[in-house]
A and B are shown apart, each in its own frame.
Chain A
Amino acid sequence: MAVVERTAPPAARQVPAGPRKGWRAHWHLYAAISPFYLLFLAFGLIPVGFSLYLSFHRWDGLGAMEWAGLTQYQYLLSDSDFWQSIGTTLVIWALATFPMIFLAMVTAVLLNSAVRFKNAYRFAYFLPSVTSVVAVAIVFGSIFSTDFGMVNALLQAVGLDQVAWLNTPWGIKIAIATLMTWQWTGYNAIIFLAGLQTVPGDLYEAARIDGAGPVQTFFRVTLPLLRPTLLFVLVVSTVTGLQSFSEPQVLLQTTANESTFAGGPDRAGQTMVLYFFQQTFDNNDFGYGAAVAWGIFLVVVLFSIINWRLVQRRGEQ
């Protein structure tokens, strides 16, 4: 299909100014991409380098630093709490991301075809991503409460038992994932909507003449063209989703005596970043906190590469 050819990486096709000419011939290209890298050199490199340096030390945030060699990293590898937080983060991420991407895509396609009230719909779907976090906390705490919560009311209506959502390890994870899905589906739907605008209208026309139904059209025409957008959404959801912390914090409010970074019973909602906060701010262990942050970075990079590969490979098929 012509479509697929169009999305092929253009690099191969524009051979005339190939690498032979060396980088001098491309100075304008380097200049065009330079602002990002210059800003990173100016404001990002020192902080990043410093946190690396810090991860080889012990530091309480105010006093003198003490050389610790590789001990922070050795401890990181053996720290079962950190490994548990990786598992927690991945489970919550998966529970939130796949439904979210699916719903966002469906919403985008529906929005793309709805002719009337389009503005009103878009506006409403945008609201969750900007709603105040205090309100979100109160509403979701209420929706998932045991005796008076809407979710349990629905369960009982269809003859199922109540679930103590915020008091059980799986309940907590599901509640957090639901909150994330609610908050970011509209946001991603708008991304997909922008992506859908790159699909030329005559392709739909052609598909219709071929006798394709809406579902077929989606899989044969829309999805292949949406692949770059899908890749973007998946990678961004991975990078941000694996670094989530505010949702569990909001949902698992604690009493005054407890840490807000603890993540509820069985640490069921303690994501990697919450664990980082706990080490850094509750325990004043800034050196170990830095090592945890680098651990988080590695996990994020690893999963981003995996997801990238998955989407790319399917694109090649």
Chain B
Amino acid sequence: MRLSRRGVLRAGLAGTAATALGGLTTGCAVPTGSTGRNMVLWYWSGGLGDSVVKSAAARYEDSVRLKAVQIGGYYRSKLITTMAGNANIPDIAGLKGEDMASYLPNSDQFVDLRTLGADRLKSRYLDWKWQQAVAPDGSLIGFPIDVGPVVHYYQPAVFERAGLASEPADVSRELNTWEKFFAAGEQLRKRVPGTRILTDVNSVFEMSIGQGTTRFVDEDRTFIGDGPRVRACWDRAVEAKRRGIVSNIVTGTPDSIAATEKGTLPSQLNASWAAGDLKLAYPRTKGRWRVAACPGGPSNVGGSFLAITRACREPERAFEIITWMLDADNQARGFTEAGLFPSTPASYRAKRLRQPDPFFGGQITMDVFGPAAQQIPVAFNSPYDVALGQPIRDEIKNVGVLGKDPKTAWEDAMKSCRRIAKHLGVNL
């Protein structure tokens, strides 16, 4: 259940976020990292497979002492603090996908992996994923860990009662566009009273944005959130509300748990890692779920990278370690251990990833996840995307939850965006 993830955890720990500001102008100081034989690796709980980390430490123990540290709390604030403070910087650091846009302009903080021969491994990784770690100056600052292809989780029994397709292949085919998905939502609501195909409108908006190659700000630092693409995503979300296919339920409350278990919220659009959430939150629904392709095409949520920091004294050795940890075999292990969906297409053929999953009624989910992961569009992520997407996200939520007039909401969102763009020096 979503409640668990970033919400509660980051919240309780928001104290950490309290670590904010500052950074002395220690321009000339030499960054200090680990000492002796130590090579320090920072990641977060569940960010790498445990056994992969252990075998890496054992494998390289003749040359270095690999100290893998799980950092709790708000990961990025601790990493930025130590980097800005120029001391105790890890040699290898995990970087979360959603934070990449803010690391990319500061590529000088990391070793350019191209100088260590990364290019010769490029063909083994998903191209769009690889491109996400390429900085504006062309350097490569991160090496791909996992990806989060978005799929359509649904309960076939409920779909069947509504007279909809229920086999994964049929659902993928018959609900392949948003229009068909909305029509299915209407049919579901009519035939099975009290049932909605989605919890709220925000997922429609988010997934639609993720299906394109542009977001809110382009490469020239120009605001494009007022352009036709974002507007189309907005209109689609508004339409979901207008056609009454979303619920009034708040995610994470007992209402949403009960509705999902009862089958009145039988469907969600979510990333591959949400399969773990479903299994954790709804164990009693085992066997009642299937996975199909996301309407409108694949997109990605989450994922992460490993980077070598400029404080690392042995970048070659570090590179050897991370490329081993992230090769196709070990990524397959990462998936079975921690639900990290591989960025190496070769892993998708691995036997252990093609086991029937009893939670999904014996479906081989890789048949859906694999193709989705390979078709994700390469999108440009601006460091200003979060700031300029937020007013639009806030307002679509107001439309969805509070029933605010969509026209007023859009105007308010654009007014906020213009104000923020001016403040951040983003062109209009």
Contacts and interface: CB of A to CB of B under 8 A. Distances in A.
Whether A and B touch directly in their complex, counting CB atoms under 8 A apart, is answered as yes
A273 to B, nearest CB: 8
A155 to B, nearest CB: 15
Contacts of B248: 146, 164, 167
Contacts of B276: none
A281 B2 contact: no
Interface string A239-266: 0000001100110111111111010011
A51 interface: yes
B401 A50 contact: no
Given A133-B12, A256-B6, A281-B74, A62 B106 contact: yes
Contacts of A63: 105-106
Contacts of B8: 133-134, 137-138, 250, 253
Contacts of B419: 78-80
Interface in A38-73: 46-47, 50-51, 54, 58-63, 65
A282 B74 CA distance: 12
A51 B22 contact: yes
A260 B12 contact: no
A284 B8 CA distance: 22
Given A167-B248, A285-B424, A293 B253 contact: no
Interface string B1-14: 01101111111101
B67 to A, nearest CB: 24
A256 B21 contact: no
A288 interface: yes
A258 B394 CA distance: 9
A60 B301 contact: no
Contacts of B203: 255, 257
A47 B85 CA distance: 12
A277 interface: yes
Contacts of A283: 384, 386-387, 390, 424
A216 interface: no
B17 A167 contact: no
A263 to B, nearest CB: 9
Contacts of A288: 423
B387 A249 contact: no
B22 to A, nearest CB: 5
A293 B21 contact: yes
B420 to A, nearest CB: 8
A227 interface: no
Contact of B7 (A46, A80, A142, A260): A260
A50 B22 CA distance: 6
Given A137-B11, A253-B11, A266-B402, A60 B5 contact: no
B333 to A, nearest CB: 24
A160 B44 CA distance: 47
B23 A61 contact: yes
B7 A253 contact: yes
Interface in B1-54: 2-3, 5-12, 14-15, 17, 20-25
Contacts of A79: 419, 423
Contacts, number: 184
Contacts of B416: 81
Contact of B5 (A47, A65, A256, A262): A256
A253 B74 CA distance: 15
A290 to B, nearest CB: 5
A24 to B, nearest CB: 37
Interface string A166-185: 11110000000000000000
A60 B249 contact: no
Contacts of B196: none
Contact of A142 (B14, B109, B253): B253
A149 interface: yes
Given A137-B3, A258-B202, A148 B23 contact: no
Contacts of B23: 50, 54, 59, 61, 286
Contacts of A122: none
Contacts of A58: 425
A167 to B, nearest CB: 5
B424 A257 contact: no
Contact of B250 (A59, A145, A169, A282): A145
Interface of B: 2-3, 5-12, 14-15, 17, 20-25, 74, 76-77, 80, 83-84, 102-103, 105-106, 109, 202-203, 206, 248-255, 258, 270-271, 274, 301-302, 383-384, 386-387, 390, 393-394, 397-398, 401-402, 416, 419, 423-425
Q: Which 8 A-B pairs have the closest CB atoms?
A: A253-B7, A249-B11, A145-B253, A133-B12, A283-B387, A62-B106, A265-B401, A148-B254
28 contacts: A46-B24, A47-B22, A51-B21, A59-B23, A60-B383, A61-B84, A62-B103, A63-B106, A137-B3, A146-B255, A246-B12, A246-B15, A253-B2, A253-B8, A253-B252, A254-B251, A255-B202, A256-B271, A260-B10, A260-B14, A262-B394, A265-B398, A265-B402, A280-B20, A281-B20, A283-B384, A283-B390, A283-B424
